[in-house]
Chain A
Amino acid sequence: MPLLLLLQALEIMMITAMADFKPIPVDQVGVEERAAKFRTRSIKKEAKMQALRMALNLIDLTTLEGRDTEGKVRQMCYKAAHLHDEFPGLPTVAAVCVYPSMVPVARREVEGTEIRVASVATAFPSGQSDLKLKLDETRIAVENGADEVDMVISRGAFLRGELDYVHDEIAAVKGACQGRALKVILETGELCTLDNVRLASDLGIRAGADFIKTSTGKISPAATMPVTLVMLEAIKDHYLKTGRKIGMKPAGGISNAKTAIQYLVMLHETLGSDWLDNSLFRFGASSLANNILMQILKQDTGNYQSPDYFSIG
């Protein structure tokens, strides 16, 4: 009997800590089947062209490498605004995404365009650091001119079950963002199950995320369609409950136009056309833009294209 009492007491403690927060189980087989269905849609001709242009405008053009230099970031920012000048009328990408040390460079380079500057923070990509340092890093990124902050959650704490800690950390970083948009990276490749993905999504949304994002791009698997679908469902449920629209950013591993279009189909059929806008959806990618450009030129000229004729990036 004492054991049972103890268990009951523990349960009560948990309930008070995460009041009204219940993990929602995910039907893995169902999600995978549903996600596979989106891959069978055929989007052709004008609809394809429209989707390709839209996808370009949803990209967070990203460089997150130890070997990044100012020159590399300047080049990427130029590319962000001038995707392929030989083909007039193309949109720009939505944002450039860099390390905090490169934010001042990026800020300067995108001046006068609509392109936003996103900075990763909170000891990206592992998140293994002290909360104080993470908050300082976030503040520095914002002070240097970042419009958006991409934070990583503490996966170690999450997997240990310390949901309170993860929640409070996200909330604290949100505070340090001083009103800038916060994207919360779940790093789904380390969360092991779709149940965990759903739980982390709900947690991130609850703690104040403006976007939830799949991956850092440093861990494989990165973004997959089933994982993204689970996150979109979390966003949908939150919207239906509260009316608040949370953004979605699949990142890593989306490198060709066909996959990008399949994601857009999934987005549209799960959340509707409101989300087909870069205020609510982004692709985190480095090589996707060129692949889409090649597809657009293929549609326009009828000839298969070569990367030789497109700028690096």
Chain B
Amino acid sequence: MAHLDIPKTYKLFIGGQFPRTESGRSFSLENAEGGTIANLCQASRKDFRNSVAVARKAQAGWADRAAFNRSQILYRLAEMLDGRRAQLVEELNFQGISSVDAEKEVCASVDRLVYYAGWCDKYQQVSGTVNPVASSHFNFSVPEPMGVVGILAPDEFGLLGLVSLFAPVIVGGNTCVILASESKPMCSITFAEVAATSDVPAGVINILTGFREELVPHFATHMDVNSIVYAGDNDPDVKILQEGSALNLKRVRIHRGVDWISSSSQGPQFILECQETKTTWHPVEVIKPKTGGY
């Protein structure tokens, strides 16, 4: 049967919806032969601002979910992602990745989600502590989410880089705004379709496509972003991020030269880098013979 190709419109993912950029701009991706393979939204600072607003709104509710429930949702993400393997491999192919490498990247992405799903109800147990103190207090420290995290995904891995950075962030009860890989952004929007159908509450994951040069300063200076995770080695960008973050003391994490395929690029340390430690002094009554009370 005759069938016309229906080229997909790659839009942004903000608050569980797929709006076009408010700026109305787009940019084209070209393959090695110079042919256009897709048009994508070129997100503006206002798209970023809107994303931060919805991420902020979603954060408390997401952090209040039971850890086990967050775990279920991350696992669901992995399931849905696995079902789209063929499509993702094809998109990576379009963007110049060999079939073998593409297959490897997609499988690693699914595995990574399953890996982090398991951590949801464990990282607090592993990294929380009971601290020795010299007074009659039960003193304990637990990690708590920082809030809204801005993520600048690595350029080289369009899918795996994104997954590797956002999964540990949302495991810990944060919400995030992600700027996808600039040169390989197609999978990020396909991944957004996975997120939109996996019970992830609207606003927990927000994905923008566009140009780093334009958006990095806004990630850096937005007063309502609590932390930045950056993967890449562009020194001017790092400088802008670190300087801008001084405004409201965002924590900035820079990942340079990480091999995202390797299993060494996952671990609880990635969760903890977007956590704040809260220490509680809880008075206790020490009952001893003769000397009761505090």
A305 to B167, CA, bound (A): 27
Residue count of chain A within 8 Å CB distance of chain B: 8
A184 to B82, CA, bound (A): 61
A292 to chain B, nearest CB (A): 16
Per-position 1/0 for B34-57, Cβ under 8 A of A? 000000000000000100100000
Residue of B whose beta carbon sits closest to that of A302: B221
Given A308-B223, A308-B224, A309-B223, A303 and B52 contact (CB-CB distance below 8 Å)? no
Q: How many A-B residue pairs have CB under 8 A?
A: 24
A25 CB-CB contact with B under 8 Å: no
A302 to B52, CA, bound (A): 16
Per-position 1/0 for A276-303, Cβ under 8 A of B? 0000000000000000000000000011
A242 CB-CB contact with B under 8 Å: no
A90 to chain B, nearest CB (A): 18
B86 CB-CB contact with A under 8 Å: no
Question: Which parts of B53-110 form the interface with A (CB within 8 Å)?
Answer: none
B51 to chain A, nearest CB (A): 11
B49 cross-chain contacts in A, Cβ below 8 A:
304
A303 cross-chain contacts in B, Cβ below 8 A:
221-223, 247
Q: In the complex, are the beta carbons of A306 and B221 less than 8 A apart? A: no
A307 CB-CB contact with B under 8 Å: yes
A306 to B148, CA, bound (A): 11
B218 CB-CB contact with A under 8 Å: yes
B31 CB-CB contact with A under 8 Å: no
Question: Which parts of B223-274 form the interface with A (CB within 8 Å)?
Answer: 223-224, 247-248
Q: In the complex, are the beta carbons of B221 and A304 less than 8 A apart? A: yes
A302 cross-chain contacts in B, Cβ below 8 A:
221
Q: In the complex, are the beta carbons of A306 and B248 less than 8 A apart? A: yes
A309 cross-chain contacts in B, Cβ below 8 A:
223, 248
B249 to chain A, nearest CB (A): 11
A307 cross-chain contacts in B, Cβ below 8 A:
224
B221 cross-chain contacts in A, Cβ below 8 A:
302-304
Interface centre among A304, A308, A309 (most CB of B within 10 A): A304
A306 to B52, CA, bound (A): 10
Per-position 1/0 for B207-224, Cβ under 8 A of A? 000000000001001111
B251 to chain A, nearest CB (A): 15
Residue of A whose beta carbon sits closest to that of B247: A303
A309 to B247, CA, bound (A): 12
Residue of A whose beta carbon sits closest to that of B244: A303
A24 to B247, CA, bound (A): 56
A309 to B224, CA, bound (A): 9
Question: Which parts of B103-122 form the interface with A (CB within 8 Å)?
Answer: none
Given contacts A304-B49, A308-B224, 15 further A-B contacts (CB under 8 A): A303-B221, A303-B222, A303-B223, A303-B247, A304-B218, A304-B221, A304-B223, A304-B224, A305-B223, A306-B222, A306-B223, A306-B224, A307-B224, A308-B248, A309-B248
**Nearest 3 pairs of A and B residues by beta carbon:** A306-B224, A306-B223, A303-B221
